[in-house]
Amino acid sequence: MPLEKKTVTCQCGATYQIDKPSHWCTACGRQIFYSEGARRRHRWDTYYVWGALLSVIAFLVYIFIEMIAVPLVGRGG
């Protein structure tokens, strides 16, 4: 859904006319947001990505333990 064009000011002072929920500031490289709601949504997206990443790492650790550590420790048992 296209947003109405809105002027937002970056923390570095650069202003942009944006019609998207977020935009990268070309002056300082920071991400600027259309609104506080868009910023919050972006934060939850970030949490979701981290959660998925941690799940993958946990799964790999589990596989590692099952495939490598258990056969080594459990030998002769």
Contact (CB, 8 A) for 43 and 36: no
The span of 18-26, 35-43, 47-55, 64-72 binding Zn ion (CB under 5 A) equals 18-26
Residue 28 found at the interface with Zn ion (CB under 5 A): yes
- Please tell me the distance from the alpha carbon of residue 55 to that of residue 12, in angstroms, as a whole number: 36
Contact (CB, 8 A) for 34 and 8: yes
CB of 55 to Zn ion, least distance (A): 34
- Nearer to Zn ion by Cβ, of 12 and 61: the residue is 12
Residue 24 found at the interface with Zn ion (CB under 5 A): no
